[in-house]
Amino acid sequence: MTIIAGSINQNSIRKEIQDFAKVCESFYNGELSIPEYKSISGGFGTYSERGHKTGMLRLRIPAGILELDKFKFVVDSIEKYNIEKVHFTTNQSIQFHNLKPEIIPEFMLEAYDAGIVTRGGGGDYPRNVLCSPLSGVEKGEYFDVSPYAKAVSDFLIDLIGKIKLPRKLKVGFSNSPQNIVHATYRDMGFVAKENGKFDLYTAGGLGVNPEFGVKTAEDIEPENILYYVMTMVQLFMKYGNYENRAKARTRYVPKTIGEEKYVSEFNAILDELKKSEDLTLNIESETVSKKGDGSVPSVSRNIVEQKQEGLFAVKYHPPLGNPSVEVLKDLYNLISSIENVGVRISTKEELFIINLTGKEADKVAEILTSDNSSTELQESVSCVGATICQQGLSDSSGLLQKIIQLDKEENFADGVLPKLCISGCQSSCAAHQTAKIGFKGGKKKVDGVLTDAFDLFYGGSELQGDERFGEVLGTVPVDNIIEMFRKLGREIQNSNSTFNSWITENKERFLEIVKEYAI
């Protein structure tokens, strides 16, 4: 089976967007309720924002690979619609915020004409397929998994409108045990192996009642992965809960029917598929033909050496995952003339510009200097939070801003305050549950006043083979969090250490400080 990118559902998706325009207009005219609109709009990659006067739009970027022509569309759209807020998501997508309702359907159609699908960007659909952002160029990777991630993306998008899932289905591909895309705890995760094959983990996920995935198959030949994807789709449709949305995720299926039966049913469906359909992939490996020119870039935390000799990648982690629109324009103008350049969106709210010579890397890094992370803390991840998101309970991005401001005021050395993962609610968009330090937003009464307060998670890990959920140490109001980090930072700074070094011998002291500020 050959997957041809861009050939999917062309007529039906265009017609669906045109029909959705009427739904969008009805909602913003006050003729539909929020739940009624959300149940439809999510499937088109858009939700109303808090206050219900503006909306957001999410572009699907399969495998996080942003081709230059699509990057140009993003930059041109920012200018055309005077967009002031752009966000890199933890699902390797790009979100546009504060959009006037009347432009949303038009924007969708223009994106589609540019080869970018928003369909299924939310709602009960297969979501953007994730992939290790440096796949194909990363030192130490087992093999390049990105062509397979793109093929699965096209395959799943083609199912939209043909199937009805109980809830969303998230698929990820990892190229190494770094497990950046959390492949071992997604609905489906294909994990590359040294032998050039995949192991498959399924029925995992974060959020409410999180679960690590069930190891469902081993040593899958890459050309056979679509059999496993379709098997998972059919299994989820057969056993997924269509009545109770709270339990309508793949991770509840093994709990419902038992893990042994779950694996048995998976294999039975797989066997039937192999007899009845040809889903074999025919993918030619992609190689980087560009050669280094002998130049070496400046030493920087944001420049990474690729496995291709003499080539480098530059990381761009804007504050809170919100890039400056001016920097995006300047970046595109610079890289559009660079040979074999590539752009990848990470699951950590950042971009990687790949296949650069040393001189090119320095030029790219210089463009990004004013809007790029320079400390470990500034690489923290937060969702957009309750000021925008209807689901959000607390202002996660606002909390991160306050902590970064504290860090600057106190002039803490890099690493004194650690990288954080902050979610505004239990949905875990920032993956707080497997972060070393994570926060989950909520509300608590403090002195009789309802205020933002966050559960503090400690000790999580995303590494393959060492996956673990963090321990909840307590609930801390926002103002207390700031003072907690002030005290913690001063103590670590005075010991001439960093958080990651200090915590190994001072966990009990850390727990004492948290207890002092928790409620």
pLDDT tens for residues 341-362? 999 999 999 999 999 999 999 9
Instruction: Give the per-residue pLDDT at 2.
Output: 39
User: Which residue type sits at 473?
Assistant: L
Q: Which two tokens stand for residue 487?
A: 């005290």
Q: Could you read off the pLDDT of 157-174 as tens digits, one per residue?
A: 999 888 999 999 999 999
Q: How far apart are CA 148 and CA 130, in angstroms?
A: 11
DSSP character string of 453-513: EEEEEES-B-STTS-BPPEEEEEEEHHHHHHHHHHHHHHHHHTT--HHHHHHH-HHHHHHH
Instruction: Give the per-residue pLDDT at 215.
Output: 98
The domain made up of 303-371 is a member of CATH 1.10.287: no
Fold that domain 377-517 belongs to in CATH: Sulfite Reductase Hemoprotein; domain 1 (3.30.413)
User: Across the chain, how many H-helices and E-strands are there?
Assistant: 14, 18
Beta pairing partners, 85: 97
What CATH number does the domain located at 153-276 have? 3.30.413.10
Q: How far apart are CA 176 and CA 193, in angstroms?
A: 8
| C-alpha torsion sign, points 285, 286, 292, 297 | negative
CATH 3.90.480.20: which residues of the chain? Answer: 10-113
CB 176 within 8 A of CB 206: no
Of 143, 63, 131, 132, nearest to 307 by C-alpha is 143
C-alpha dihedral (320, 179, 355, 69), degrees to nearest 10: -60
Instruction: Give the per-residue pLDDT at 14.
Output: 87
What's 230-274 look like in SS3? HHHHHHHHHHCCCCCHHHCCHHHHHHHHCHHHHHHHHHHHHHHHH
Fold that domain 10-113 belongs to in CATH: Sulfite Reductase Hemoprotein; domain 2 (3.90.480)
Percent of the chain with pLDDT over 70: 98
Q: How far apart are CA 423 and CA 440, in angstroms?
A: 5
Mean pLDDT by groups of 10 residues along the chain of 519 residues? 44 87 96 94 95 94 98 98 96 97 97 94 94 98 98 94 93 98 98 98 97 98 98 98 95 97 98 97 91 96 97 97 97 97 98 98 96 96 94 95 98 98 97 98 91 97 98 97 98 98 97 97
Residue with tokens 């970046």: 331
Residue with tokens 């230059």: 68
CATH 3.30.413.10: which residues of the chain? Answer: 153-276, 377-517
